Amino acid sequence: MFTGIIEAVGTVKASERQGGDLRLHIEASELDWGDVQLGDSIATNGVCLTAVELPGNGFVADVSIETLDLTSIGQLKVGSRVNLEKAMMPKSRFGGHIVSGHVDGLGEVVSRQPDARSERFVLRAPAELAKYIAHKGSITVDGTSLTVNKVNGAEFELNIVPHTIAHTIIGDYQSGRRVNLEVDVIARYLERLLLGEKAAEPEGSAKLTESFLAENGYLR
C-alpha cells in the first residue's frame, strides 16, 4: 500500500528486454534505501514493482508483459525520470490517500497553463474510468496523489502547486503525454457494494445502470 506522496524522483539507468518482458534498473541517490529489502514494493510512476536486486542506490525490478500492456512503464528509456515511493509502513504518516500501485488505465495530458505560481493541467481519462473521477475527489497520476478541481466528461482539471512541480515528474508534462492513472479505491468498492447480490453474476451482466439503481430504490 502507498499514499501517493512522492519520496524521490529516480532515473532509469538500464532497461533490458528479457524473454518478452522487461528488467529495469532505477537509481535514486536521494532516497534512503537502508530499510528496503529484496521483495519489497516500490511504486514507480504509480506502478507497484518488486525489488529483485538492490545495488545500493536504487533497485532492479522485473516488469511483466501485462504491466507493459496496461501502463506507460514500457515507454521508459535510459535517462527517463520516474516518481518513486516506498511501500507504506504502519507507523507512516498518511499524507495522501489509499494507493494500491495497480494502474487502472492510461490518461493523456490535454493542456497545461500557468495559474499564478501554480500550474493548471487538464487530463483526459479513458471513458470507462470517468465515472470514478469526482470533483474534489482523489486520483493518482503517475503515483502522485492529487485532488480533482473540476470534471468535464472524461476530462478533469488539476492545480499543481510549486512544491509538487519541483519534487515530482509532473513538471515534465506537456500536451499529449501518457500518464498512469489509478482511481480512488473507495469508489470501486462502493460500486461493488451497490450491486449487492448482482455482484456474483458473470462479468458483463453485473453493471450499475440507471434502471438498476431505480429498481433497487437508489433513485426516485
pLDDT, tens digit, for every residue of 48-63?
Answer: 999 999 998 999 999 9
Can you give the residue ranges of every domain in the chain?
8-86, 105-186, 187-220
**Common-topology check for domains 8-86 and 105-186:** yes
What pTM does this model have? 0.86
Residue 96 grid coordinates: 495522501
Binned at pLDDT 50, 70 and 90, residue 31 comes out as very high
**Thinking of the domain 8-86, which architecture would CATH place it in?**
Beta Barrel (2.40)
Of the candidate ranges 49-58, 152-161, 171-180, 201-210, the one whose mean pLDDT is the lowest: 201-210
- Smallest CA-to-CA distance from 218 within 195, 192, 186, 200 is with 195
pLDDT value at position 57? 94
Residue 124 grid coordinates: 483526459
Rounded-to-integer distance, Cα 74 and Cα 21, Å: 9
The answer, yes or no, to whether residue 175 has pLDDT greater than 90, is yes
Using DSSP, state whether 174 is helix, strand or coil.
Answer: coil
Which CATH number among 1.10.1060.10, 3.60.20.10, 2.40.30.20, 1.10.10.1590 corresponds to the domain 105-186?
Answer: 2.40.30.20
pLDDT value at position 210? 57
